[in-house]
Structures are given as C-alpha cells and as structure tokens.
A and B are shown apart, each in its own frame.
Chain A
Amino acid sequence: MTRRGIAWTLGIIAVLASVIPAFAGVDEPIAIHHLDHSGLVLLGAAAAFFVRDPSAKGSPASGARWLVLTVLAPIAMMFVMWPSLYDYLDAHASLHALEHLVLAALGYVAVAAGERYVRGVGATMGVLMFVMAVLSAAGYGVMKP
C-alpha cells in the first residue's frame, strides 16, 4: 500500500472512530473519554504523517505560519477536551461526533504543519499531542467536584 493509501485508510478510520461511538451513546468516565480522544488525535496525526511528501525537508528559514499552527493545535485540543462539557456532548450525538472530528483534525493539523515547517517537527508534535491527551486522563477533570 502506498503512503497516500495508508493515510486515506487512517483518515477513514479516524472519521468512523469519531462518529460511531458518538451515536452509540456509551456512558464512560471522563478519564476513559480522554483516552478515547488520545486515540482520535493519534489517528489524525498518523494520517498527516503518511500524507506528507517524504522527500520534502522544509526549512527553518521560512514557513512561520506552519510553526504557529503546530504550536497552537495542541492548545486547542486541550480546550476542546473540556471535561465539564462531556455530559452535554453525550446527550447531543451530532455535536459529540463533531468534537471527535475536531480532535482528529487537530492531530492532523499539528503534524502536517510541523512536517511542512521542518521534517521531524510535526512527528514530534504529534507524539507530544498524544501524550498530552493520555496524561489528561490521569487528572484533568477526572475527579468528582
């Protein structure tokens, strides 16, 4: 399978993994929810990794906007994973699916933009974004008020 084929496959899995659970109406603890999100982010990030042109190296001499995108995407992800909204989103399947798609898209944007800036930067940011989502499961809004 070509890199682009792998990227498409991952992208389709990301969309399905975003939509199906949202409409399945499964009630999960917030920590598990964060972990689900880390998987979506990873799928989006992996799709971006495979869609990049492996011969393109990028340069720190230009591409400022790509760097800004790769830095801001993880912050946006943290805000999208707003724990007190989870109950509301569980009751609104379409919005829930949209939230999942946004998370996968942010993973994609961080890696694609970082790789466009300089090869290796995007992959690093993708891994870190996944780590952020996983770490969130250990303490971000997971305790009872």
Chain B
Amino acid sequence: MTTTLDPRELSAARRVMWTYLITGFAIFALMILIGFSMRMEQAGWIAYAPQTFYSLMTLHGIGMITAVAVASMGELWYLMRLETVLDERLAYWAWGFIVAGAIAVVISVLAGQFGAAWTFLYPLPFVGTWWPSWATGFYLIGVALVTIGWMMWCTQMLGCVLSRYGGFRGALGWDYVFHRRAFEQSGRTPPPPQAYAALVAAVDGVLTGTIGMIIGVALIVHWISPSVVIDPLWAKNLTYFFGHAFANLTIYMAVAGVYVGMPRYADREYHTSVALAVAWWGTLVFVAIAYFHHLYMDFVQIRALQYIGEAASYLSSIPTALVTVYGSLMLVYRSRMRWSLGSLFMFGGLVGWIVGGFGAVLDATIPINSDLHNTLWVPAHFHTYLLEGVVLFVLGWTFMMLEERSGSISSAAVRWLVGLGFFGGGGLFLLGFYIAGAEGVPRRYAVQPAPGPELSGLASVGVIILLIALVIVLVEAIRLAAIARRRTA
C-alpha cells in the first residue's frame, strides 16, 4: 500500500526528484555536445589534437553514465518515497557527493587533459600519460566521490526495501512465490513492481559500490605511493564489474517509472506477479555476473568465467524481454492508451532497450565477439540502450509528471517532430556506429580507417536532427512546467 503524503511531504519529495532529474539532464546536455564534437572530429568536419579527443572521450563516457544514473536515481527515489518515509537529507548528501565528484572529474579533464578513458583501466592512468599527475588524482578522487554518493543512495534504498517489506525475504517476495496461498490468506500483498527495481538497484548497487571502492582506493593509493603495484587482471575484473553493473543498473532503475507510468496511460492495473518477482531475482544475479563478457580477450582469465559471462548475458535478456517488455506490450494491447510525449517516450524506451540489448547479446556471443570486440559495435549497442532506452524512460517519467500537473499534453505535430527526431535522427546516429562496427572500425580512436570517417559524417547528421528534437523537448518541458505552475499558484 502506498503511503499517503501530505502536501508538504509531497513537495519535499518532488524537490529531491527534480534536483536529481535536472542535474542529470544538465550533465546529459553538456555531454551530448561533447559527443557530437567527437563524431564531427572523426568525420573530419572539425579538427583537434588526438589528445584532446581522448580527454573529451573520457569526459563524455563518465559524464553520460553519471547523467543517466543521477536522473534515474531521482525518479526511483521519488517512487520509493511514495512507499515509505525516507530522509531527504541523505538524498541531498548523496547528490552532493556525486556533484562534487563530477566537478573534480571535469577539472581533471578540462584543466588537466586527463584522457585514460572513463574506465580508468590500470595501468592506463599512470603510464605514457600526456597529462600531469594531479589530473589523475583529481579524476580518481572524483570517481571515488561519485561512488560514495552512489553507495549512500543505494544503502538508503536498501534500508527502504528491507524496512518497508520485511527484510530480504519480504522484499524478494519469497513467501508470495513459494507459499502463495498462505501469503494471500494472511492478507499480505507482495511489493509493487517498482520496489523490485529498488531492491535490485540497492543490492547490486551496494555490491557495485563496494567493488568500486576497492579498485578506487587501490588506484588512489597507487597514485600516492607508486610502489604499491596492482595486479592488472584483478584491476580489470573489478573495474568492469563496477562499470558494467553501474551502467546496467541505470536502466533497471529507470524502468521503475515505466511500471508506474504505462498503466496510468493505458488506464489499466499493473500488479506484481510470480513471473515478475522471479524475473527480478534473475536480474539480481545476472547483473552481477554478466560482466565477464568484457574479458573474453584476456587469455589469462579463468576459462569457466568466460562461459559464465556468456550464459549470464543471454539469461539476463529473458527477464527483460519476457516480463517487462512483453508485459508492457500486453498492457498497451487493446487498451485505451493515451498517446502523449510521456507515453511515447516510455514505449520508445522499451523498443530501444530491446534493440540495444539484442546488439549487446550478439557482442556477448564468444565467436561473434572475436570479430566485434572493441569495434564501434560496442558503442553502437550501449548508445542504443542508453539514448533510446534509459534517456527515453527518464524523459517519459518527466513528461508524465509535467502532463499530470499541467493537465495538458503536447500537440500531435510536436509529438511527430520529436518522434522523428529521436528515432530518425537517433537511428541515423546509431546506424553510423552499427555499420562501422560490423565493418570492423575500431572504437576509441580519434582517427579512424575507412569507412569510419564517412559513417561518422552520417552519424553527425543524425545528431543534428536529434539535437533539434531535444530543443523541442526542452521547450515543451518548459511550457508544460509553466502551465503547471500557473495551475498551482
């Protein structure tokens, strides 16, 4: 049962949510411009030194992940605040740590030219550098601050689900799944779908943060005391555990808004089912162990882990495709769906999730990975997943809030323009990555072999169209917010 908030509490909860959402969108806007400049540079439209490219690539990578994570965190925090009382101060502290970390990273890259890629894979931040040592330190401390903020948020979520639903057993819905009759006869109800997203974000998030702290502190210690030598394979395992799971969790957090939003648009109920609970149990495990697919090329890695990585990558798609996406399609099928920007974004996000996920599973298939590893196929699938998945889910939630509060929706013309921009421009942008990847163009190179530059040009045209759509989205958001403010004044 959802907690009823009085107007003051609701206002405070919304303030937290908007703080996170606006921060996320602001970072996203800055990072999309940096990404655009990188594609233009690869296309030969503009020119800057390769070092500048790698520095901007580092900032773009870590900035985008942080942007979508922060926005998703705000959305999920608000949804769980509707379930139980949460301390807003903690949410602001976590936000403060993340913003402080982001500022440190920006300084390290823009002032110090740090450019070891966002994955800061040991020993790259320390060997053959063109940036000063302080920039490495700023970057590592910045990432550590973001990780502390993330840990605080995840621990608060963990406390939230444990106290609200009766420990791990209750939060998992264990009795609901295995002793259903007795469970229902006792008058209890399982956690709502969005609580499963919170549980997975909390448990895998705390695990991810823990791993991030190990490698983060180890790198900081090595920076201060270079005689402390780190095992590179150990470092790579920890780094990719942290990076993979953190990036994955952004979409699992954001999808909570779809669980709540889509039923409102379809005017139908979306309840927790046994299939949904079990699917999220699977996600809880697969998010943590799929990262091994990043280490296929590391011949010294234990062979069994490679197979675990491949199996987990395949298995992780089942809960997504069969439960969340199929369930959402059934929600829409033959419903009186209200199509607005909010519902379009949510629905489009499901499409992007499936397409990006399919590209990811292909790349996680060992024989295919032999060809696609470290080609532009990799950014192709994760840009699909992030841009046409997470970002659309968060935009969907944002517009649902704005539409409900303003009592107004965008015109059909605006919806078409935004749809064409996101899926036309966005599609063109992504196609540039996919085709180049399939052609074997390597990723993370300032200067690409053919057909990289031509496809980068095509992708840049896509970005221009996408940017136009984003400007329209921004104008619409401001317009709806202004109407909402007038209504509540």
Name A's B-contacting residues (CB within 8 A).
57-64, 67-68, 70-72, 74-75, 78-79, 82-84, 114, 117-121, 124-125, 128, 131-132, 135-136, 138-145
User: Within the assembled complex, what's the spacing in Å between the Cα atoms of A96 and B56?
Assistant: 44
User: Chain B residues near A136 (CB, 8 Å)?
Assistant: 214, 218
Q: Which of A75, A121, A143 contacts B148 (CB 8 A)?
A: A75
- Give the number of chain B interface residues (Cβ < 8 Å): 40
| Pair A131/B210 contact, Cβ less than 8 Å | yes
17 contacts between A and B (CB under 8 A): A58-B159, A58-B163, A60-B156, A60-B163, A61-B87, A68-B93, A68-B152, A70-B155, A82-B225, A84-B227, A118-B163, A121-B155, A121-B159, A125-B155, A128-B210, A139-B230, A145-B229
| Pair A67/B155 contact, Cβ less than 8 Å | yes
Shortest C-beta distance, A69 to chain B (Å), equals 11
User: Chain A residues near B162 (CB, 8 Å)?
Assistant: 118-121
| Pair B87/A60 contact, Cβ less than 8 Å | yes
User: Within the assembled complex, what's the spacing in Å between the Cα atoms of A72 and B209?
Assistant: 12
Name B's A-contacting residues (CB within 8 A).
84-87, 89-90, 93, 144, 148, 151-152, 155-156, 158-160, 162-163, 167-168, 206-207, 210-211, 213-214, 217-218, 221, 225-231, 233-235, 238
| Pair A135/B214 contact, Cβ less than 8 Å | yes
Q: Which of A61, A71, A121 contacts B86 (CB 8 A)?
A: A61
Given known A60-B86, A60-B160, A120-B162, contact A143–B210 (CB-CB < 8 A): no
| Pair B159/A117 contact, Cβ less than 8 Å | yes
User: Within the assembled complex, what's the spacing in Å between the Cα atoms of A66 and B67?
Assistant: 28
User: Chain A residues near B167 (CB, 8 Å)?
Assistant: 119-120
User: Within the assembled complex, what's the spacing in Å between the Cα atoms of A78 and B234?
Assistant: 16
Which 5 A-B residue pairs are closest in the complex by CB-CB distance? Answer: A139-B234, A139-B231, A118-B159, A78-B217, A61-B85
| Pair B210/A64 contact, Cβ less than 8 Å | no
Specify which of A58, A118, A139 lies most central, judged by the most chain B CB atoms within 10 Å of its CB.
Answer: A139
User: Chain A residues near B227 (CB, 8 Å)?
Assistant: 84, 145
| Pair A141/B230 contact, Cβ less than 8 Å | yes
User: Chain B residues near A83 (CB, 8 Å)?
Assistant: 221, 228
| Pair A141/B89 contact, Cβ less than 8 Å | no
User: Chain B residues near A64 (CB, 8 Å)?
Assistant: 87, 89-90, 93
User: Chain A residues near B225 (CB, 8 Å)?
Assistant: 82, 84
| Pair A74/B213 contact, Cβ less than 8 Å | yes
| Pair A141/B221 contact, Cβ less than 8 Å | yes
User: Within the assembled complex, what's the spacing in Å between the Cα atoms of A118 and B158?
Assistant: 9
Shortest C-beta distance, B427 to chain A (Å), equals 41
